[in-house]
Structure 1
């Protein structure tokens, strides 16, 4: 029984430490964006990372996302998303899923979600999905407005 308890404690501790590492990467990602630090920001992503923005047409591979952020960051213009709540779930030793509520001065409450993978260089973001949670009470009204836009997808 003591051995079983010890094994459970060790596994829990390992996952907890992994979650701390993942949280640190996400915090560093947000800090780098706020500082317009392109090298650190993109360096926290895998080579084949995908960033999904709030617009239906915003699906960027890392190269396209780099081209999107460069004009802003090169002028020292970043963006600040402050984590308010975060949930991390590890799947094995080398993959973690997360979702986080963020606050942003322009967009209010946002949600980030995605996947990190553990590489030889540490945890890296493989996918980041930024969305704006929509209250159910106004969902139909907002969907109607989106459909009325000429460039709307779907």
Structure 2
């Protein structure tokens, strides 16, 4: 009976370790994604995207597939100009089958201060790839009405 209990505990511990390991793998992909951007390393940055990946920026017009985003970003990267976002807090969750991860993260930006990234990663051929990344600038609730009015006045 004691051996059975130990065996069950080992199985459970292995499952938890695997889950932690997958979370660490996703976190490492996201960390390197941000590091590659800050180092203006375009090939490394875009290698983190799934083939059908999408980047959604802060402007309402910014929804780019990978090629469109490359066309936008590579001229900056080729001049050594990247962007720096440092993760401060991150939450990662997984689908039941373990092949989809979604996340939200609070980032510190050199230009914009506190920002938020969220998105989805897919496990493709054993590697985690960014299927969607969405960058936002959170607006404090007490400023929201004023910000909305300013946005609406520019779109008239």
TM-score (norm 2): 0.92
Which residue, 8, 11, 18 being the options, matches 1:7?
A: 11
> C-alpha separation between the residues in 2 aligned to 1:10 and 1:126?
28
Q: Measure how far apart 1:12 and its partner are.
A: 1.3
Any unmatched runs of 5+ in structure 1?
A: none
User: 1:72 touches 1:78 (CA, 8 Å); kept in 2?
Assistant: yes
Q: Which has the larger radius of gyration?
A: 2
RMSD: 1.4
Counterpart secondary structure, 2:58: coil
Partner of 1:56: 60
Q: Say yes or no: does 1:126 pair with 2:131.
A: yes
User: 1:15 touches 1:90 (CA, 8 Å); kept in 2?
Assistant: no
> C-alpha separation between the residues in 1 aligned to 2:28 and 2:43?
17
Q: Say yes or no: does 1:23 pair with 2:27.
A: yes
TM-score (norm 1): 0.93
Any unmatched runs of 5+ in structure 2?
A: none
> C-alpha separation between the residues in 1 aligned to 2:126 and 2:65?
20
Which piece of structure 1 moves more, 90-99 or 15-24? Answer: 90-99
Which residue, 104, 108, 118 being the options, matches 1:103?
A: 108
Q: Measure how far apart 1:6 and its partner are.
A: 3.3
Q: Say yes or no: does 1:140 pair with 2:145.
A: yes
